[in-house]
Amino acid sequence: MGILILNSIFQPGLVHFLTVSAILFSLGLMAVLSKRNVIMVLMGVELMLNAANINLLAFSRFTGLGLDGHMIALFVVIMAAAEAAVALAIVLNVYNRFKTINLDEISQLRG
Amino acid sequence: MDLAAILFYVFALVTIGSAAVVVFSRNIVHAAFSLMFTLMGVAALYVLLYADFLAATQLLVYVGGILILILFGVMLTSQGYTLNFREATVNVVPAGLLSVAAAILLIYAFSTGGWVITEVDERTDTVYDLGMMLMTDYLLVFIVAGVLLLVAIIGAIVMSTRLSVNTED
C-alpha cells in the first residue's frame, strides 16, 4: 500500500510538469534581473518563454482542453524567433555605436 | 516507476541543471552552449507531453535558429579576449530573493490549484489536427504570424544595412 502511494506520487503528472516550468521560469527571472549583458538577458527571456510553453502543453495533455494549447505554444515559438532576430539586430547596432553591451552603460537615448 | 517516469526525471534534471548553468555561469559561451541542452531537454519534455510537432519545431527553431543567432551575437559583440566574455552580474541577492519567492509562490499555487485532471487518450500524432486547426479556427492568427515574421525580417535587414553604413563613416 505504501509503495503504491509512493509510486503514484512519483508518477509524473500535471503538478510535476508545472513545477519544472516554475523552476525554469524563476531561473529565467534570475537571469533577466541580475545580468547586465544584453545577450544574457535575452537568454533569460528565452528560458521564461519555454517555461510558459511547458505550462500550456501540460494543461493540454492532462486536462480536457484539446489542442488549443499546442496552437498557442506554436505561436509563442514563432514570436520568440521574430523577437530574437530583431533583438540581436538591435544589439549589434548598440554595440556598433557604444562599443559595449552592458545595460548600465547604455544610458543615452539620443542617436 | 515505468520508463516514462524515469525519462521525465532525467530530462527534467537535464533541463533545470543546464538552465542553472546558463544563469550562474561566469562565461557567456558556456551559458550559450548549456542553453542548447536546456532547449533540448524542453523538447524532450514536449515529447513526454504528446506534443511531437511542437518538439520538432522547438528543435528546428530554437536549437537550429535562435541559438545560432545568440552565438553570433556573442561572437560579434565580444572584444576579442576571454576576459571580455565575462558578463557583469549585479544585484545577485535581491534578484535571487525575488526569484526564489517567485518559484515558491508558483509551485505553491500550482500544487494547491485543485486542477481537474482528466486522463485523455494517448495521442499518436498531432500534426493532422494542428494543420486542420491552422486552416480553420486559427487562420487569421496564422496570417498575422506570417506578417509578423515578414516585418521582423525587414526590420532586421534594415538595421543590419545601417550597421554597415555606420561602420564606413
- Going by pLDDT thresholds of 50, 70 and 90, the confidence category of residue A2 is low
Q: What is the pLDDT of residues A43-65, one digit of tens each?
A: 999 999 999 999 999 999 888 78
Q: How far apart are alpha carbons A62 and B117 in whole angstroms? A: 6
Our CA-based measurement puts residue A1 at a distance from the nearest CA of chain B, in whole angstroms, of 15
Residue B86 pLDDT > 70: no
Per-residue CA distances from A40 to B20, B70, B166 (Å) = 13, 9, 25
Question: What percentage of chain B exceeds 90 in pLDDT?
Answer: 57
Residue B100 pLDDT > 70: yes
Q: Does B27 touch chain A (CB under 8 A)?
A: no
CB atoms under 10 Å from CB of A107, counted, come to: 7
Residue B1 pLDDT > 90: no
Q: What is the pLDDT of residues B2-35, one digit of tens each?
A: 888 999 999 999 999 999 999 998 888 899 999 9
Q: Which helix (H) or strand (E) holds B18?
A: helix B3-24
Of B65, B74, B166, the CB nearest to A81: B65
Q: Which CATH architecture has domain A2-98?
A: Orthogonal Bundle (1.10)
At A76 the pLDDT is 94
At B131 the pLDDT is 92
Residue B87 pLDDT > 80: no
Domains in chain B, CATH or no CATH each = 3-137 (1.20.120.1200)
Q: Which helix (H) or strand (E) holds A5?
A: helix A2-10
Q: Where are the domains of chain A?
A: 2-98
Q: Does A19 touch chain B (CB under 8 A)?
A: yes
Residue B168 pLDDT > 60: no
**B74 is written with which cell numbers?**
556573442
Our CA-based measurement puts residue A18 at a distance from the nearest CA of chain B, in whole angstroms, of 7
Residue B82 pLDDT > 50: no
CA B116, chain centre distance (Å): 28
Q: Does A53 touch chain B (CB under 8 A)?
A: yes
